Amino acid sequence: MPAKAPSGPLNSSSRGVCSRLLLCSMLLGGGIGSNACSDTANSDVTIDAGTINDANDRDLTLVPTSGLYRLGMVVVEAGNVEIEFQASLQSDPVAGTIPTFEIRAVGNDGSLSDILASQSDIPVANGKFEADFAEFTIPAAFSVTGGDVVTSFTLAADIEQDDFFCGGVTGAIPTFSLTLTDSLFGAIPWADGDQTARFSCTPPVDDQTQEATIGGARPATIVMPAGHTNEALPVVVLLHGYGASGATQDAYFGLSSRVASEKFLLVIPDGTPDSNGMRFWNATLCCDFENNGVDDVAYILSLVDEAIASYGGITTEVHLIGHSNGGFMASRIACDAADRINTFVNFAGSSYVSGDDCQPTKVVNKPHIHGTLDETIPYTGGNLGPGALTLSDRWAAYNGCGMSTMSAARDIVSTIDGPETTVDVYQDCDAGGAVELWTMTGGSHIPTLQADFADQVLSFVLR
């Protein structure tokens, strides 16, 4: 059934406002090689059948590859709506160009439109290329809106490895009066089935993990190291934003790709769909907008209990990581059930309006991560709750901390040059109650994250 057009205050991804598209491209000399984007700045690239000379006079590997890809784009300006694509790529290790890049729409029945747009002779250098598509119309028969959709966009692509590419999207969707300035896309092999494409440059999950389903009538995924047999491991719960899903959030943060190396259990639940199909968590003012009243605190803690009882989770090492509505939810659990968790990460979320409504029974470690240009949940606070500094100061008071001091800056946002994120570390906190404020200067609600974002967050959470 076609997805509905976005309505209401949207904070995260929802699949399918526009048509799915088939991107048919033939990639010649695309520079598709292992870690071509993320690592070339720090190391030379092995020469294979052919080379591209990049701006730094370094040779880039050209590895022939071909196949279908699942390409997902999140349109931030439409409330972070998720659009799915299919891409067909072929490469030739001689010329550093993409000779043709064609776009087709895909109907719900799998039918294909005629070619809607095409680009030719797109240069590729240092593992990067831009595909610029002038204004074209997606026919009504291929649009879930039931009408023609006029769009134009540029894909600024980073080729990460032979089965993954990603980047940013700029352009416009005149039909919806949208200018695209901060949207993202990622692509993974079509053979991966229904996995959600990654909306940042975080590599796909490798084969070093295994999954199981927990939660009974309201199922959730638990990811663990391959061969796991109840070894005692920390439990990390990932909470998605409003309208998104656990799979989409994991695709964005990339936590499951670190399960094997960092040795933890990752619980990935989904919120409850509202009448518009938007998944939400009932967390303070966001985002049970229809007053369904679902008890998500009890639900999430029941998943933690199952991870501990059935998979060896450590009772004293339970950590929550939430984005947007998920950040609200993590904060609510920390306020209402502090005795059950050790850390909560609030990324671009808020919490109770009044500090009197949050009465934690013990200290909890807490980094708050927020962009100064967040227009969805403003850095300085808004109608849905206080700002990042106010919340950090509150938890510093709860945890017996003193004043904050500036620590080394972090580089979290890949589209901003240099380490844009300032780190305020509160001093002399009670044991187990570390508080930090990570301010992404110039960062938005869904910034394009560095490939090591998961490592940076987990270094705090699992220390």
Per the model's pLDDT, the better-predicted residue between 350 and 31 turns out to be 350
Per the model's pLDDT, the better-predicted residue between 3 and 163 turns out to be 163
Write phi, then psi, for 329 (nearest 5 degrees).
-65, -45
Q: Can you tell me the mean pLDDT for 88-98?
A: 62
Report the range of poorest mean pLDDT among 110-119, 134-143, 360-369, 447-456.
Answer: 110-119
Amino acid identity, position 447: P
Per the model's pLDDT, the better-predicted residue between 409 and 180 turns out to be 409
Strands 435-440 and 421-426: antiparallel
Per the model's pLDDT, the better-predicted residue between 30 and 325 turns out to be 325
Per the model's pLDDT, the better-predicted residue between 138 and 413 turns out to be 413
Report the range of poorest mean pLDDT among 86-90, 292-296, 378-382.
Answer: 86-90
Report the range of poorest mean pLDDT among 35-49, 184-198, 307-321, 418-432.
Answer: 35-49
Q: Can you tell me the mean pLDDT for 33-42?
A: 26
Q: Can you tell me the mean pLDDT for 92-99?
A: 63
Q: Can you tell me the mean pLDDT for 47-54?
A: 32
Q: Can you tell me the mean pLDDT for 257-279?
A: 93
Confidence (pLDDT) at 158: 77
Please, which residues have CB within 8 angstroms of residue 365's CB and are 6 or more apart in sequence? 342, 343, 344, 432, 433, 434, 435, 460, 461
Give the 3-state secondary structure of residue 173.
strand
State whether the Cα torsion 46-96-75-280 is positive or negative. Answer: negative
Pull the structure tokens for residue 157: 């692509």
Looking at every residue in the chain, the average pLDDT score rounds to 80
Q: What does the pLDDT look like over 288-329, one tens digit per residue?
A: 999 999 999 999 999 999 999 999 999 999 999 999 999 999
Q: Could you give the residue ranges of the DSSP H alpha helices within 58-216?
A: none
Confidence (pLDDT) at 12: 30
Confidence (pLDDT) at 80: 63
Q: How confident is the model at residue 123 (pLDDT cuts 50, 70, 90)?
A: confident
The torsion region of residue 293 among left (phi > 0), alpha (psi -120 to 50) and beta comes to left
The torsion region of residue 79 among left (phi > 0), alpha (psi -120 to 50) and beta comes to left
Spell out the domains of the chain, with CATH numbers in brackets: 14-192 (no CATH), 209-461 (3.40.50.1820)
Q: Can you tell me the mean pLDDT for 82-108?
A: 68
Please give the radius of gyration of the chain, using alpha carbons only, rounded to the nearest integer.
22
Q: What does the pLDDT look like over 211-246, one tens digit per residue?
A: 999 999 999 999 999 999 889 999 999 999 998 889
Contact between 6 and 79 under an 8 Å Cβ cutoff? The reply is yes
Q: How confident is the model at residue 192 (pLDDT cuts 50, 70, 90)?
A: low
Q: What does the pLDDT look like over 196-206, one tens digit per residue?
A: 566 666 555 55
Report the range of poorest mean pLDDT among 45-54, 61-70, 105-114.
Answer: 45-54
Q: Give how far Cα 46 sits from Cα of 58, 124, 188, 196, Å.
A: 10, 17, 23, 31
Confidence (pLDDT) at 11: 29
pLDDT at 148 over 70: yes
